[in-house]
Amino acid sequence: MSKRLRSSEVCADCSGPDPSWASVNRGTFICDECCSVHRSLGRHVSQVRHLKHAPWPPTLLQMVETLYNNGANSIWEHSLLDPASVMSGRRKANPQDKVHPNKAEFIRAKYQMLAFVHRLPCRDDDSVTAKDLSKQLHSSVRTGNLETCLRLLSLGAQANFFHPEKGNTPLHVASKAGQILQAELLAVYGADPGTQDSSGKTPVDYARQGGHHELAERLVEIQYELTDRLAFYLCGRKPDHKNGQHFIIPQMADSLDLSELAKAAKKKLQSLSNHLFEELAMDVYDEVDRRETDAVWLATQNHSTLVTETTVVPFLPVNPEYSSTRNQGRQKLARFNAHEFATLVIDILSDAKRRQQGSPLSGSKDNVELILKTISNQHSVESQDNDQPDYDSVASDEDTDLEPTASKANRQKSLDSDLSDGPVTVQEFMEVKNALVASEAKIQQLMKVNNNLSDELRIMQKKIGRSALVTSSSSLPSFPSTLSWSRDESARRASRLEKQNSTPESDYDNTPNDTDPDDTGSGRKGRQRSVVWQGDGSVPDTAEPHAAPSPILPSTEDVIRKTEQITKNIQELLRAAQENKHDSYIPCSERIHVAVTEMAALFPKKPKSDTVRTSLRLLTSSAYRLQSECKKTLPGDAGPPTDIQLVTQQVIQCAYDIAKAAKQLVTITTKENNN
């Protein structure tokens, strides 16, 4: 659906006229230049879509328009509206500012660091605050006030919150009330339409019972959004959900002769647990989004002025909530050519259908091919110690020319020839791909790594120096679970959500979770946390199994002293990164590790406080991961050289996690000792 822009609309980030893009999860309209920065942040921060040249579900566009017109941007710029911010020198970007560093720094601070959002008074138990916010969200979605719900989500309310007294989620409430725009907003932030309430009913059931048929149909589409998007990418068609068709699986005419490697890779894909398969499917979804957005970007930009090395996004940006292993696999997806990527998408669609229907593993009669040795290895247990480099610096010229669905004309060609029902040859994919050659040739020489290392360093230094670090993980949008394996699993997910929301939890704990007792059938939660320690050994647990919990905490002065020591060493590491002194990484990381060990030793082996245990786990696991990342700067005996700049990004993220955990421990001990 196209969007007719009005002259009164301006870019939410720089106030430039006639914005042509939208940030769906932020509820804002943005201009081309600011969009280039949004794209480099990744979908976990901002989900961009062109207002005219991208397909829009009508109610999703209506949701974004409503938020924009009702001042959603003031949520992300709350403190800038305070007159005191002018006195402090803080201001938003303007159209005349350069994209880099001016607009980029502002946009990163605004959306990635959430530097300007309204902050609630600090409380002892962050999980209690999140639970209160989620209960407010649960009540608010029955009304049409979208901006109130977006504000609650920005503060940390959980879209998949399972209300312990009401026995349902916000999406159940919105569906029962017929609030379709609220349902769209909740889905953007990860609400699962397949979740059952305490009565065993889903939001779809409530929408149908209430006669909200348009909402019910849209919820079904959201439930299958992942597989629908993959199918549409290949053949320009979506399944007819109204008539019970939930999957379209194109076929490759030239892939009947499966090689042994392809058969082994396909078998490995089928053997993945549902949890790991879901992660892989979501990563491929993100890559499809990147490729399709690239196609629109290249078709709409003034190549002589806008398309530069700082506006290109050659592969998926790093998501700090994911492990380095998963980020590595995500970035390798950009190297797949059109045929390889198409066969990967087809195999994912086939296996998603098999898993949902509970079918046994398919035999050799399947005529699709998976060329996925590297990526499938990244998502298996055996991949932890492979000798591949952590990241590919950039896709090659051959690999980056990859757009099989470049334009509306090509989509229409797919529709006219009914490719979804017949075989597609490599030649047909190449014909579609070649439609972009003319525009891409102008910028192939500019397809370099866009990691903005200097920007990251400046942001990191600001984070280290702030008295209260900004937490962004609590408001990151999550992808709704579109692969519903069974109703039993939905009930299990609801039970886990209720358990989660009754347990105190850190606002930025990405340490390893306890193993899910049902790993082979786990659906995706509203938010998933990733394992941060990928080293050769395991992260030592600070608690002894048989030790009694101790409420005793060290003195505030001792904790502050050790925190200052940690901060000093982190600053040395940042200076080494800024000056490209990579040889200093390992000694700096060792000094940080020693300081962290000394600080952890101040606390009892088994602290009574959940928040103390969480912060200690984040502190120690991040220090171990930092050492592991720094060791990658050593010259290897075999394999391609490590991309030092991308390793540096991970080093900075580890340093940030260490600093945050140390600050949390200072805050906790100060409060406890003053009571």
Give the model's confidence band at 515: pLDDT under 50 very low, under 70 low, under 90 confident, else very high: very low
Residue of higher predicted confidence among 327 and 667? 327
Query: What contacts 471, CB < 8 A, 6 or more positions away?
Result: 114, 507, 508, 660
What predicted TM-score, i.e. pTM, was given to this entire model?
0.58
Q: CA-CA distance, 126 to 120, in Å (whole number)?
A: 11
Q: CA-CA distance, 288 to 278, in Å (whole number)?
A: 15
> Per-residue pLDDT averaged across 585-610, rounded?
88
pLDDT for the residue 569:
86
pLDDT for the residue 608:
81
pLDDT for the residue 493:
42
- Which of 167-176, 256-265, 276-285 has the least mean pLDDT? 256-265
Whether residue 311 has pLDDT greater than 90: no
pLDDT for the residue 176:
97
Give the model's confidence band at 578: pLDDT under 50 very low, under 70 low, under 90 confident, else very high: confident
Q: CA-CA distance, 579 to 557, in Å (whole number)?
A: 33
- Which of 192-201, 403-412, 537-546, 635-644 has the least mean pLDDT? 403-412
Q: CA-CA distance, 380 to 89, in Å (whole number)?
A: 49
Domains of the chain: 7-112 (1.10.220.150), 127-230 (1.25.40.20), 260-307+314-358 (no CATH), 556-673 (1.20.120.330)
Whether residue 77 has pLDDT greater than 80: yes
Strands 423-424 and 21-23: unpaired
- Tracing tokens 């006229």 back to the chain, one arrives at 17
Give the model's confidence band at 88: pLDDT under 50 very low, under 70 low, under 90 confident, else very high: low
Instruction: Establish how many alpha carbons lie within 13 A of residue 658's alpha carbon, considering only the half-sphere containing its beta carbon.
Output: 37
Helix (H, G, I), strand (E, B) or coil at 607: strand
> Per-residue pLDDT averaged across 554-567, rounded?
86
Whether residue 628 has pLDDT greater than 50: yes
Whether residue 387 has pLDDT greater than 80: no
> Per-residue pLDDT averaged across 559-576, rounded?
85
State the virtual CA torsion across 214, 216, 222, 227 in degrees, nearest 10: -100
Q: CA-CA distance, 410 to 404, in Å (whole number)?
A: 8
Residue of higher predicted confidence among 362 and 268? 268
pLDDT for the residue 302:
66
Whether residue 39 has pLDDT greater than 50: yes
Give the model's confidence band at 159: pLDDT under 50 very low, under 70 low, under 90 confident, else very high: very high
Whether residue 214 has pLDDT greater than 50: yes
Q: Where are the beta strands (DSSP E) in 371-515?
A: 423-424
Residue of higher predicted confidence among 44 and 260? 44
pLDDT for the residue 89:
59
Compute the mean pLDDT over every residue in the chain, rounded to the nearest whole number. Answer: 74
- Which of 55-59, 140-144, 214-218, 342-346 has the least mean pLDDT? 342-346
Give the model's confidence band at 201: pLDDT under 50 very low, under 70 low, under 90 confident, else very high: very high
DSSP, res 335: G
